[in-house]
Amino acid sequence: MTARQTAAPTRYDRRMLAIMNNPAGRPYYATSARRRTFVAAHIALTAGLLTTHIGGVAARQPWLMVAGVLVVLPLWCIATGIINGSTRGLLELRARVLDERQLAERQRVHALAHRISVVMLFGAVLAVGALHWVGSTIPAGALPAVLVVALVTFWLMPLWTAGLTARDEVADDVIDEAADRFATGH
């Protein structure tokens, strides 16, 4: 470990840890089906934001970008918060406030997200190659939009992966029941 990782948590670290472990949001992400729903909604909202921004630039309609920010961005932020809460801040908290299990889980999520991103980029390369092979061309104006979509996807893939792979939390009554059985020997 580095000196930075062994440093005592700051006030910011303690506050973020409290936010990420706040039990008030648990009903939103208590089951894997709910987490998948919020990840799917986040992907759709991200696509909506990208569409309004890229479309607004291409059509030279700044009102379209403003509408996207005013309508879609607040919903996107809420979905992001719910996904972060479902992972207990796995990707948002600093390493010094995570335990070894969480650090290992963070590394696993990053590795899996990297593999998924590489497969997606490889698929895009194959698609461009196939278009070129059949004699079709891609408009030069589409390149910036494609690069922005690739960048945003690469940036958000760890969040989506963490949200999809997070495990259900064991309910407190199940833990209490197991502890009682262990204590009584039954």
How far apart CA 25 and CA 9 sit, in angstroms, is: 24
Residue type at 39 in one-letter notation? V
Single-letter residue type at 147: L
Which of 174 and 152 is assigned the larger pLDDT?
A: 152
The predicted pLDDT at position 4 comes to 52
| pTM (two decimals) | 0.83
Residue ranges making up the domain that contains 96? 3-184
pLDDT of residue 185: 62
Q: What is the pLDDT of residues 161-170, one digit of tens each?
A: 999 999 887 6
The pair of three-digit structure tokens given for residue 97, joined into one six-digit string: 């406030």
The predicted-structure confidence for 58-68, as pLDDT tens digits, reads as follows 899 999 999 98
pLDDT by residue (tens digit) across 88-120?
999 999 999 999 999 999 999 999 999 999 999
pLDDT in tens, 5-48: 568 899 999 999 999 999 998 999 989 999 999 999 999 999 99
d(CA 44, CA 52): 12
Computed over every residue of the chain, the mean pLDDT equals 89
Residue 107 CA to residue 109 CA, distance in Å, equals 5
pLDDT at residue 141 in the model: 84
Do the beta carbons of residue 166 and residue 87 sit within 8 Å? Answer: yes
Under DSSP, is residue 167 helix (H, G, I), strand (E, B) or coil? coil
Domain count, the chain: 1
